[in-house]
């Protein structure tokens, strides 16, 4: 069992597990310490310099990298800490395209939250602004865009792609003021090894990586992705009878919230006007709508005309294990052949 330890943060006694960082211990106990590069799914890097705290009266240290220890006294706000945070946030905003009304992250932007918390001073911002030119937006990916002018270089996307997805499509490229997030060779996303899973997009704390189509759903429905046998858990966002969004279910052991490109973005076909919603039977060379009873009777009749090796079955990764078991049972026991295969094996 993990050892529990006691410490104080801003004079408030808290209990946490040994090994937890000071930042996580604070956040778990509803004590906000500003942060930008921290994400609970990723290893800490202490890059944004915003989560500084003072421990036992010592010098400022990054709370995301500092393990909580028994008996320590943590202070999250002081004049020195406030100055460091405000300067860091002002420099970020000075190089940021604050086009908030047109930004996909406008209602959930970590930079806006931070600027309100550290009381950014507009007259200082004016002096800092105007040093950089707008860089081109990468719209090459069909599902999301990358706007380097909104990027705060937190590297969450880079670490997500490496630590979670294992693709390593992204990196920090160039140096100093020229530093940007880019793909290998700074090619457009679509020409890189990016798999379009969108894991980086859902973790980007600002509007730099943003889905191209997003509508806030009226409600969400918990379900299972049917594209393949992994069976990832997801929540489909719905407006009326239209699906407008998908997000991974973090509680599902098969995917822990992750989705691939199909599960995250491949839901438009559901409401496509060309989608078949009733069985069709070909009569006199033309397809006609039929009931399920008519269709299944026809299939059974056709099956009865075959036995042994004139019959073959191809099962689908979209089916459950139980359904695939039944397909092979039907093929072997009822149709009398072992000619059964599965698309996941091909
Ligand atoms: S979409 Fe997926 S593969 Fe592409 S950069 Fe983002 S995390 Fe990496
Ligand atoms: S694109 Fe988003 S996640 Fe990546 S470094 Fe920029 S702000 Fe951070
Ligand atoms: S999200 Fe991708 S990996 Fe998960 S079940 Fe769907 S298709 Fe399979």
10-residue stretch averages of pLDDT, the chain, 346 residues long: 90 94 96 95 94 94 96 95 91 84 86 87 66 86 96 96 96 89 93 97 96 92 90 95 95 96 93 92 96 96 92 89 94 96 77
226 with 320: CB under 8 angstroms?
A: no
Token pair listed for 13: 């006694």
| pLDDT score of 133 | 80
Tell which one of 166, 169, 259 to mutate to probe ligand 1, the residue whose CB is within 8 A of the most ligand atoms: 169
Does the C-beta of 161 come closer than 6 Å to ligand 1? yes
For residue 9, what are its two tokens? Answer: 């943060």
What number does the ligand 3 atom closest to the CA of 263 have?
Answer: 1
* Domains of the chain from N-terminus onward: 4-128 (3.10.20.740), 144-211 (3.30.70.20), 219-269 (2.20.25.90), 276-303 (no CATH), 306-346 (no CATH)
Q: How far is the centre of ligand 1, averaged over its atoms, from the C-alpha of 317 (Å)? A: 24
Look at residue 130 in the predicted model and tell me its pLDDT.
Answer: 60
- Which residue is closest in CA terms to ligand 3's atom 4? 232
Structure tokens at 202: 């859902």
Separation of alpha carbons 251 and 339, rounded Å: 38
User: Where in 163-218 does DSSP place strands (E)?
Assistant: 170-173, 180-183, 209-211
Q: What would the two tokens of residue 197 be?
A: 């899973």
Which residue out of 263, 269, 270, 316 has the highest number of ligand 3 atoms within 8 Å of its CB and is therefore the one to mutate?
A: 263
Which atom, in ligand 2's list, is nearest to the CA of 181?
Answer: 5
Residue 168: count of CB within 10 angstroms of its CB = 14
**Which residues, judged by CB distance below 6 Å to any ligand atom, belong to the binding site of ligand 2?**
151-157, 181, 204, 206, 208-209
At 229 the pLDDT is 80
Residues sharing a CB contact under 8 Å with residue 172, sequence separation 6 or more, in sequence order: 153, 155, 158, 179, 180, 181
pLDDT at 101: 86
Ligand (nearest to CA of 197)? 1
State the DSSP code for 67: B
């Amino acid at each position: 069992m993990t050892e529990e330890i006691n410490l104080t943060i801003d004079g408030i006694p808290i209990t946490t597990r040994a090994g937890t960082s000071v930042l996580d211990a604070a956040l778990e106990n509803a004590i906000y310490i500003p942060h930008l590069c921290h994400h609970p799914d990723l290893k800490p890097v202490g890059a944004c310099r915003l989560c500084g705290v003072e421990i036992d009266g010592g010098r400022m240290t990054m709370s995301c990298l500092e393990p909580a220890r028994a008996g320590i006294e943590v202070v999250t706000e002081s004049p020195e800490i406030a100055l460091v945070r405000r300067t860091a946030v002002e420099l970020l905003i000075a190089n940021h395209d604050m086009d908030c009304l047109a930004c996909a992250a406008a209602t959930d932007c970590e930079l806006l939250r931070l600027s309100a918390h550290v009381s950014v001073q507009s007259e200082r911002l004016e002096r800092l602004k105007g040093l950089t030119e707008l860089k081109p937006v990468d719209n090459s990916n069909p599902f999301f865009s990358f706007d380097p002018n909104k990027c705060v270089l937190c590297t969450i996307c880079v670490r997500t792609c490496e630590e979670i997805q294992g693709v390593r499509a992204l990196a920090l490229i160039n140096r100093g003021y020229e530093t940007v997030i880019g793909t290998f060779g700074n090619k457009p996303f679509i020409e890189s090894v990016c798999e379009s899973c969108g894991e980086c997009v859902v973790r980007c704390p600002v509007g730099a990586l943003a889905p191209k189509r997003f509508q806030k759903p009226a409600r969400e429905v918990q379900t299972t992705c049917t594209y393949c046998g992994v069976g990832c858990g997801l929540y489909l966002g719905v407006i009326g009878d239209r699906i407008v969004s998908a997000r991974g279910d973090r509680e599902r052991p098969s995917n822990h919230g992750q989705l691939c490109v199909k599960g995250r973005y491949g839901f438009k076909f559901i409401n496509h006007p060309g989608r078949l919603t009733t069985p069709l039977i070909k009569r006199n060379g033309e397809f006609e709508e039929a009931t399920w009873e008519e269709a299944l009777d026809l299939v059974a009749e056709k099956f009865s005309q075959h036995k042994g090796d004139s019959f073959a079955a191809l099962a689908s990764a979209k089916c459950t294990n139980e359904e695939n078991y039944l397909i092979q049972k039907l093929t072997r026991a009822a149709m009398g052949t072992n000619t059964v295969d599965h698309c996941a094996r091909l």
